[in-house]
Amino acid sequence: MKHDWNDLSTMTTGQDLVVNRVTITASGISIEGEFELPPLARLSYEDQVFIAMFIKVHGSIKDMEQAFGISYPTVKARLNKICEKLGFVHAKPVQEREEVLGKLEKGEISVNEAIERLS
């Protein structure tokens, strides 16, 4: 019985898995071994759909808001969550960095405190 990727994601519920057999459909040739999935394939089906749409709209958060009926902060939070799942390190949000630098400029915080907040 043939299943789609969503079925596999649902069955494994986000657990790590290894593919043991790959079949090339055009030739019917099968290859057996232990193959790790690439990072994007390890995401849930819903996260994969979200990333696919993000690519489709060329990274436009405004278009993502419209496509999913969600707010700007929700899009950003979802992208940050996916980045964390993929093991990407993301910098502090721009607004937070600007706030810290503004406080440093006004003398409200020390250089050491600014460095600590930005790291």
In a domain, 29, yes or no: yes
Give the range of the structural domain holding residue 18, as residue numbers without chain letter.
5-85
**The domain spanning residue 50 has which CATH number?**
1.10.10
C-beta separation of 55 from 64 below 8 A: no
Q: Structure tokens of 79?
A: 């992208």
Q: How many domains does the chain have?
A: 1
Per-residue pLDDT of the chain (119 residues; tens, 9 = 90+): 677 767 777 777 767 788 899 899 999 999 999 988 888 988 888 999 999 999 999 999 999 999 999 998 899 889 988 988 888 865 556 678 778 888 888 899 998 888 888 77
Cα distance between the two ends of the chain:
50
In a domain, 17, yes or no: yes
| Nearby residues of 84 by Cβ (< 8 Å), 6 or more positions away | 90
